[in-house]
Amino acid sequence: MAELEAFDVLDTGPEEGFEDVVQIARQICDAPVALVSLVASDRQWFKARAGFPDCQTDLTRSVCVYALSEPDLLIIPDLSADPRTRGNPLVTDEPHIRFYAGAPLRTDSGRTIGSLCVIDHKPRPAGLDEGQADALRRLARQVMLLLRERGQLAKMQASDLLAAAAASRRAALLELGDHLRDASTVADMTARAAEIVGRVLNGSRAGYGELDQTGEFLTIAEEWVTAGTSRLAGNHRLADYGTIVPVIQSGETLVVRAASEDDRTAGHSAAFAKLDVSAMLNVPVRERGRTVGLLYVHTPEARAWAPEEIGFARNVADRVQVAIGRLRAEEQQSILNHELSHRMKNVLAMVQAIAAQTIRNASDLDAAGDALSARLVAMGKAHDILLGGEHATASLDAVIRGALSIHDDAQVGRLKLDGPLVPVGSKAALSLALMIHELATNAGKYGALSTPDGHVTVKWEVTSDQDRLVRICWIEKDGPLVAPPSRRGFGTRLIERGLAGLIGGEVQLTYPPEGVICELTAPLTEFQANT
C-alpha cells in the first residue's frame, strides 16, 4: 500500500501512454476488455480501461486481487468454474465475464501493486498462446516504466514549483527590505509586510496587530485581504479563540493546520468559522523580551504549512521587528535631542543670570570667582544626577546629596537627610541644587557648619491631601547665635526667589537664635515636571 501511494497515481485522469497499453493488450490477446488495475486497501481502481464501463470496483468484485500473490501470469480459463471467482458478482451478473489473464505490476522491491489484465465474456480453455502471454508480460513492464517516469516527472515539476516559490520568497524579502528602509511610520511598515506575506503565502487574509500590556488583547488597524474576505479591524480578546495566549507570549510561532482539529483552537471552532478561518500562522513580534505585536496569515481551508513557508513568515516578522525598533529609536533620539537643546538653553540662561548677579554683588573679583565657581559646580552635580536618572528625573535625596557633596562637612556626618523617595524633574533639580548649595555655603561661613559642634538636618515630606505638596525644611542647630542679616545679598535672594519663582512655590527663611530655618513648599506636579 505504501509503495502504491508513493506513485501518487490513484484517481488521476487518463494518460495517453496507459491508454495505448490497454488497446495494444486487447488487440494482441484478441480480448474485448483490457485494464490497468491498481489494488488499493479497499478497492481496485483502473488507471486505463478498454471495454469496461466502471473506473473502479470494490475488492469483493476484484479478480486482480488474486494476481498479487502470483509469481507470474494469473490465468483463469473459466471464471464460473474456479472456486475463487464463481461467486463474483461480475461473473454471476452483468457483464458476465468468463475468462481472465493478468500480468502482475511489480515494483523494484518485488511487491505487486496491481495487474495488466485482459478479460473475455466466454471461457478460453486454452488460455493465451505463448506469444500473447509474453506480450502481456512485456506490456506490464511498460506500465511500471510509465509509472516510474510519471513519478520522476512529478518530482521534477514539484522541484520546479519549489524553486519558483523560493525565488518568489527571496524577491519578496528584497521588496520588503527596500520598503522598510524608506518607510517613516509603523503603520506603513506593517501594512506592506502584511500584503507581502499574504500574497506570497497565498493567504486570504494577512495583517499585523498590537498587543496591550497584558498580552491578552490584540488591536488590528489595517490588513490585507482577498476579494470577498471580511476584515478583522478592531480589538480582539485572544482567549476567545482558544488557548493560544501562552504560545504567543512565549514568542513561539503558532502554526495551525485546521482550527477545528487543533487542540488549542478546536473548542472555539465556531469563532473561527464565523471569520472564515481554518488554517493560520501567527508570528509574534517582540521588543525587549516581550511580545508586542502579531503578524498573521489566514486561509479558509485546512492547510499543512510547509517549513519554508513558516520560515518565510518568521523572516518577515524579524525584519519588521528590526525596522520598528530602528524607527522608534530614531523617534526617541529626536525627542532626546529636543529635550537636550531645551535644557541647555535653560542652563545657559541660568548661568548667565547667576554670573551677572554674583559679579554685581561681590566685593572683589577673587571672591566673585570663587562664589561663581562653587555655584557652577553645584549645577554640574545636579546635571550629573539627572543624566544618570531615567527620563530626565532624579530623586530628591540624590539632588540634595549632590549639592552638599562639594562641602567637606558632608563627609563627616554633620548633615542628616530624612524623607521619602520623591522624583524631581529637570525643571526643579538645578534650582534646588543651587538653593541647597547656597544654604550650605552660608552655614559654613556664618551658621551651624562654621563651628565644630554644629549640624544641619534636611527633612522633606509629601502631603496626602488633594493638593499633594512637597515640603522641604532646612534646620541648623548648635551653631553660633543667629541674628537676621542686615542686608539681603544675592545668595539670600537666590534662596528666597530662585526655586519658588520657577515652580510656583513658597520659601520662608527664619532666623531663630539657635539656627537658621528654611522652609520650601511647592506643588508635587510642578516639582516633578521636566519642562
The CATH number assigned to the domain holding 494 equals 3.30.565.10
- pLDDT confidence of residue 501: 61
Q: What is the pTM of this model?
A: 0.47
Q: Is residue 381 situated within a structural domain?
A: no
Same domain? 19 vs 151: yes
Same domain? 219 vs 145: no
- pLDDT confidence of residue 346: 56
| Domain end residue (candidates: 155, 172, 202) | 155
Q: What percent of the chain has pLDDT over 70?
A: 84
Same domain? 22 vs 147: yes
Nearest Cα residue to 198 out of 164, 232, 226: 226
Q: Is residue 130 situated within a structural domain?
A: yes
Same domain? 123 vs 58: yes
Q: Measured between alpha carbons, how far is 427 from 530 in angstroms, rounded to an integer?
A: 5
What is the domain-level CATH number for residue 69?
3.30.450.40
pLDDT tens string 447-461: 888 888 888 999 999
Q: Measured between alpha carbons, how far is 167 from 176 in angstroms, rounded to an integer?
A: 14
Q: Mean pLDDT throughout 14-38?
A: 94
Q: Mean pLDDT throughout 127-153?
A: 92
Same domain? 2 vs 151: yes
Q: Is residue 103 situated within a structural domain?
A: yes
pLDDT tens string 243-280: 999 999 999 999 999 999 999 999 999 999 999 999 99
- pLDDT confidence of residue 409: 47
Q: Measured between alpha carbons, how far is 85 from 79 in angstroms, rounded to an integer?
A: 6
The letter for the amino acid at 439 is: L
Give the best-scoring range by mean pLDDT among 177-191, 382-396, 462-476. Answer: 462-476
Q: Measured between alpha carbons, how far is 77 from 100 in angstroms, rounded to an integer?
A: 7
Q: Is residue 250 situated within a structural domain?
A: yes
**pLDDT band at residue 217 using 50, 70 and 90 as cut-offs:** very high
Q: How big is the CA angle at 47 (ends 122 and 123), to the nearest 5 degrees? A: 10
The per-residue pLDDT of the chain, averaged, comes to 84
Nearest Cα residue to 297 out of 324, 317, 269, 322: 317
**pLDDT band at residue 351 using 50, 70 and 90 as cut-offs:** low
**pLDDT band at residue 391 using 50, 70 and 90 as cut-offs:** very low
Same domain? 148 vs 9: yes
Phi first, then psi, for residue 80 (nearest 5°) are: -75, -15
Q: Measured between alpha carbons, how far is 135 from 29 in angstroms, rounded to an integer?
A: 9
Same domain? 19 vs 75: yes
486-519 CB burial, b ≥16 within 10 A, e <16: eeeebbeebbbebbbebbebebebeeeeebbbbe
- pLDDT confidence of residue 241: 93
Give burial (CB, 10 Å; 0-12/13-18/19+) of 172: buried
Cis amide prior to 95 (ω within 30 degrees): yes
Same domain? 142 vs 211: no
- pLDDT confidence of residue 450: 85
- The pLDDT of residue 352 is above 80: no
> Hey, what's the torsion of the CAs at 291, 293, 297, 303, to 10 degrees?
10
- pLDDT confidence of residue 89: 92
Same domain? 151 vs 198: no
- pLDDT confidence of residue 411: 44
Q: Is residue 362 situated within a structural domain?
A: no
Q: Measured between alpha carbons, how far is 202 from 308 in angstroms, rounded to an integer?
A: 14
Which range marks the domain in which residue 142 is found? Answer: 1-155
Q: Is residue 272 situated within a structural domain?
A: yes
Q: Look at the chain and report how many structural domains it folds into.
A: 3
Q: Is residue 173 situated within a structural domain?
A: no
Same domain? 13 vs 122: yes
Nearest Cα residue to 476 out of 413, 402, 415: 415
**pLDDT band at residue 400 using 50, 70 and 90 as cut-offs:** confident
Same domain? 400 vs 314: no
- pLDDT confidence of residue 358: 58
Give the lowest-confidence range in 325-339, 359-373, 462-476: 359-373
pLDDT tens string 156-204: 777 777 777 888 888 888 888 888 888 888 788 888 888 988 898 999 9
Per DSSP, helices labelled H in 35-129 are 89-92
Within 10 Å of residue 80's Cβ, how many Cβ atoms? 15
- The pLDDT of residue 133 is above 90: yes
| Domain end residue (candidates: 109, 139, 155) | 155
DSSP string, 319-372: HHHHHHHHHHHHHHHHHHHHHHHHHHHHHHHHHHHHHHHHHHH-SSHHHHHHHH
- pLDDT confidence of residue 425: 80
**pLDDT band at residue 350 using 50, 70 and 90 as cut-offs:** low
Same domain? 300 vs 402: no
Q: Is residue 234 situated within a structural domain?
A: yes
| Domain end residue (candidates: 155, 172, 199) | 155
